[in-house]
Structures are given as C-alpha cells and as structure tokens.
Structure 1
C-alpha cells in the first residue's frame, strides 16, 4: 500500500523520508487546512529526501474558490514545482456552489505537465461526489484525496468504499483525514491502494508563554509545533506493508 505523509515542515518531510513512507505531500500551516509552502522549503525538501515530493498548491486558507489573480499565482506555483523536480502537485478549485470548477482545475493540470495531479480535500465539499469524480475524469485528474465527505475518513468509510468500487479502475481514491494507527489497517483490508495521513504530534517548546497570542482563541498557543512523528510514521507504514 502506498503511504503518503502530509508533512507541514522540513523536519516532518525528512522524518517521512527516513521512516519508510512512500511519498510526501508538502504543505505549510496544516492547522489552517494547509497552504502552499515556500520556494526554499520545497527546494530543500526535494534535495533532502529520496521519495517523491508532491506539493500542496493553495494560495490561502478560507475556501477553494479563487479569483483570476489567485489562479495565476497557483499556475505559477505549479510551474515552480516542476522546475524544482517535484513529482506531483495537490490542488483543486471549486465554484461558488461547491461543484468542481473544471475549467480552472484543468488549467492547473495543464500547468502540471508531466507531474502527477491530485485533487485535494476540497472534494469533500462537493454536493454530488459521483458527479464530482466524473468531472475529474473528464479533465484527466490522476487521484482524489477525500474523507468521503465526512469529518474523517473513518466516518466516511462506506462512501469511500463505494467510490473506489465504482471508479477505482479509472482514478485513485485515496482516503485521508483522521487516518491513524487505530484505523489504517481497515483501509488496507478494504482494498485501497493508497492512504494519506499526517502522523503529527505537537512538540511543546520550552519557552515562556508570550504576553499576546497571534493565534485564534480556539487554537493552541505558539509554543506548540506540529511535526510528523517518525515513530508513528514507521508503525503505520509497517501496518500496511
């Protein structure tokens, strides 16, 4: 089974590369759903690890409907990833009604060229998932990362299985969202060929509590750093070999 680690930092990506993961999805600001990482981060991760690096292409948090200016930024970021030797990109665009914007997404696929293209978890907002997959097939998308329209892939398990049985010969249905040590074997047993997880652990820095926080009140304070843990990665990889 192919194991993809969602890595929110250089250390996370290196941990994934050293712990047996099949590939990395590199992003920044995972607590916000992920945004495009920096040029320097992408360049250094590609140089540091020997497994394929896919890069999240998302110019900001706050939904998946973008202006023409933002779409140009995204296409330019895709081209940057190609120039740095990335194996794939992870992206996608929705319309205001949360259906897939096939024109904008096709533009990103075209910009990707020889790189692999994964439609990310924006798919979980799509009101009709079967129609959504049909749209992705029309524009040549390789893979869809989804939790089956539920909060976690475990909660959306039945939907994921149905999608895979219907479309799995034409597109990779990759479960992601809340995949962990307790449930990863269930996805392997169901016949999925790929799975996505972050294996993150909060590392608490030995720093004094700052006088003010720049985080929303619903989030931990700035002393916590999210890192993909090498021991968790290794255990999960071993479970689905």
Structure 2
C-alpha cells in the first residue's frame, strides 16, 4: 500500500522521505485544510529531496468556489509546479451549490497535463458523491482524496468502499482524514491502494503565551472568505486626506 504524507513544511517533507513514505502532498496551514505552499518551499523540497511531490493548489481557505482571478493564480501555480518537474497537483473546484465545477476543474486538468491530478477533499462537500465521481471520471481525474464525507475516513469507510467499487478501477480512491497507526490496516484490508495522512506531532515552541495573539478565531469559521473592501479603504484614505 502506498503511503502519502501531507507535509506542511520542509521538515515534514524530509521526515516523510526519511520515514519511508512513498509520496508527499506539499502544502501549508493544516489548520484550514491546507493551502498552496510558497514557491520557495516547493523549490527547496524539489532541490533537496527525492521523494515524489504532489503540490496542493488551493489559493485560500473558506470554500472551494473560486473567482476568475483566483483561478488565474491557481493556473500560474500549476505552471510553476510543471517547471520544477513536480509529480502531480492536488486541486479542484466546486460551484456554490457544492457540485463539481466542471468548467474550472477542466481548465485545471488541462493546465496539469503531464502531471498526476488528484481531486482534493472538496469532494467531501458534494451532495451526491456517486454522481459526481462519474463526472470526474469523464474528465480524466487520476484519483480522489476523500474521507467518505465524514470528519474521519474510518467513519466514512463504507462510503469509500462504495466509491471505490463504483469506479471499477478508473479512478483511484485514496482515504484521508484521521488515518493513523490504529486504523490504517482497515484501509489495507478493504483493498485501497493508498492512504493519506500527516503523522503530525505537535511541539510547543513558545516558552510562554504571548500577550498579543496572532490568531483570530473569526477567520477560522467555515465558509468565511476574508477580502479587503474597497469602500472601507476609500473611507480611510478620505479621512487621512
């Protein structure tokens, strides 16, 4: 069984390689489900490690419905991954109704030609996964990363099995979400070809809690997309004039 490690830093990527993992999904910000890593991080991993690298292409948190400008950023990131000879990308897009955005996903797929394409866990937001998997199959997606529409893949294993059986081998279903040493054998026994996990160990690096927090709970609310507002900016500029 292939083991893919969700690596959120160079240190995590090196740990994956040193630990014998088969592949990494390189990203940052696990707290919001993962975001696209910096070009500097991608370049360092590709230059110094030999483990196959799939890069998460997700420009922001909040949801998986993207504007034209956000899609343009995603396409530029994919082009950079191709330039560095990454093995694959992990991305996708949904409509506001939580169905696969076929048009955008096809653009992403076309830009990714020559790379493996994994549709990420946005799939777990789809209302009718059995129907949507057929759509992804027609587009030529290589695999789907999914927790079986549950918070943890072990709780969604029956749905994952149904998805795997429905694809008849045309698309790989890769379980991910809460996979660990206690449940990984359940996925192997169920016949899955790969699993996705972070194998994270948390370390406290601060000796004391800072007086000023750099975290804002308001930005971690699911579905919230924070953007600078032009009217607010104009108001501030006017006040300072």
Q: Are 1:216 and 2:216 counterparts?
A: yes
More helix by share: 2
Gap change, CA 1:76 and 1:213, over 3 Å in 2: same
SS in 2 for 1:173: strand
- Report the CA distance between 1:218 and its aligned residue: 9.4
- Report the CA distance between 1:217 and its aligned residue: 4.9
Whole-Å separation in 2 of the counterparts to 1:198 and 1:168: 28
Unaligned runs of 5+ in 2: 220-241
1:97 aligned residue: 97
Q: After superposition, give the CA deviation of every residue in 1:78-104 in whole Å (9 maximum; x if it has no partner).
A: 000110110000000000000000110
Q: After superposition, give the CA deviation of every residue in 1:189-219 in whole Å (9 maximum; x if it has no partner).
A: 1100011000011111143321111213599
1:22 aligned residue: 22
Greater CA radius of gyration, 1 or 2? 2
What does 1:42-121 correspond to in 2, within 5 Å?
A: 42-121=42-121
Return the TM-score normalized by structure 1. Answer: 0.88
- Report the CA distance between 1:47 and its aligned residue: 1.5
Whole-Å separation in 2 of the counterparts to 1:151 and 1:136: 22
2:154 aligned residue: 154
Higher relative contact order (CA 8 A, sep 6+): 1
2:205 aligned residue: 205
Whole-Å separation in 2 of the counterparts to 1:147 and 1:105: 20
The worse-fitting range, judged by mean Cα deviation, of 44-53 and 182-191 is: 44-53
- RMSD (Å), alpha carbons: 1.3
Return the TM-score normalized by structure 2. Answer: 0.88
Whole-Å separation in 2 of the counterparts to 1:52 and 1:82: 13
1:139 aligned residue: 139
2:38 aligned residue: 38
2:167 aligned residue: 167
Query: Deviation above 3 Å: which 4+ runs of structure 1?
Result: 216-219
Unaligned runs of 5+ in 1: 220-241
Whole-Å separation in 2 of the counterparts to 1:211 and 1:75: 40
